[in-house]
Amino acid sequence: MPEPSIHDILFNSFPASGKVEWLQRASFELPDKNPVENLAWQIDGLKFYPYYAKSDLKEIENQKNFQGPLVYTNAGWQNTPELIVKDEQSANENALKYLAGGADAILFNVSDREDFDIERLLEKINWNFCALSFMTNDTKIATKIFQYATQKNYDPSKLSGSIFWKSLPEHKELKALIGNARWTPHPIGIIVPPASATTEISTSILQTVQLVDGMTDMGIKMETIFRSISLSLTCDENFFITIAKLKALRSLWYQLSQSLEIRGYMPDDLHIHCLSQNHVEEQYDPHGSMIQNTVQALSAVLGGCNALTLPSGEANEMSQRVALNVSNILKEESHIDKVADPLAGSYAIENFVYELSKAAWKDFQNNLQA
CB 133 within 8 A of CB 161: yes
Residue 214 pLDDT > 80, yes or no? yes
- 330 vs 332: CA distance, rounded Å: 6
- Average pLDDT of 175-196? 81
**Residue 356 pLDDT greater than 90, yes or no:** yes
126 or 176, which is more confident?
A: 126
- Per the CB < 8 A criterion, the answer to whether 179 and 337 are in contact is no
pLDDT digits (tens, 9 = 90+) for 254-300: 999 999 888 888 888 899 999 998 765 655 555 667 888 999 999 99
pTM over 0.85: yes
**pLDDT > 70? residue 366:** yes
Q: How far is CA 89 from CA 118, 123, 141, in A?
A: 10, 9, 18
Q: What is the mean pLDDT of residues 318-340?
A: 89
Confidence class for position 181, pLDDT limits 50, 70, 90: very low
Q: 188 near 168, Cβ under 8 Å?
A: yes
For the cut 70, the answer to whether the pLDDT of residue 218 exceeds it is: yes
Task: Fill in the DSSP letter of residue 193.
Answer: P
Residue 183: band (very low, low, confident or very high) from pLDDT cuts 50, 70, 90: low
Q: Round to whole Å and give the CA distance between 353 and 366.
A: 20
Query: Cβ contacts of residue 315 below 8 Å, gap of 6+?
Result: none
Residue 30 has pLDDT above 60, yes or no: yes
- Percentage of the chain surpassing pLDDT 70? 90
Q: DSSP labels for 119-137?
A: HHHTTT--GGGSEEEEEES
What pLDDT score was predicted for residue 67?
A: 56
What pLDDT sits at residue 272? 97
Sign of CA dihedral 296, 297, 298, 303: positive
Q: Which residues of 269-299 are buried (b: 16+ CB within 10 A; e: fewer)?
A: bbbbbbbbebebebeeeeebbbebbbbbbbb
CA distance 232 to 320: 21
For 98-146, write each residue's pLDDT tens digit.
Answer: 999 999 999 999 998 888 999 999 999 999 999 999 999 888 888 888 8
**How far is Cα 350 from Cα 52, in angstroms, rounded to an integer?**
10
SS3 content of the chain, % helix, strand, coil (to 5): 50, 10, 35
Beta strands in the chain (DSSP E): 41-43, 46-48, 78-79, 82-84, 105-109, 131-136, 162-165, 186-191, 229-234, 271-275, 307-309
What integer pLDDT is reported at residue 254 of this predicted model? 92
Give the CA angle between residues 326, 250, 203 to the nearest 5°. Answer: 100
User: What is the chain's mean pLDDT, rounded?
Assistant: 87
Amino acid, res. 157: S
Domain ranges of the chain: 6-60, 63-369
Q: What is the DSSP string of 134-164?
A: EEES-HHHHHHHHHHHHHTT--GGG---EEE
CA angle 311–317–322, rounded 5-degree value = 50
Q: pLDDT at position 271, please?
A: 95
DSSP states of 33-85: S-HHHHT-EEETTEEE-S---GGGGGGGGGGGGGSGGGT-SS---EE--EEE-
Confidence of residue 11 (pLDDT cuts 50, 70, 90): confident
Q: What architecture is domain 63-369?
A: Alpha-Beta Barrel (3.20)
> Is there a contact between 93 and 124 (Cβ–Cβ < 8 Å)?
no
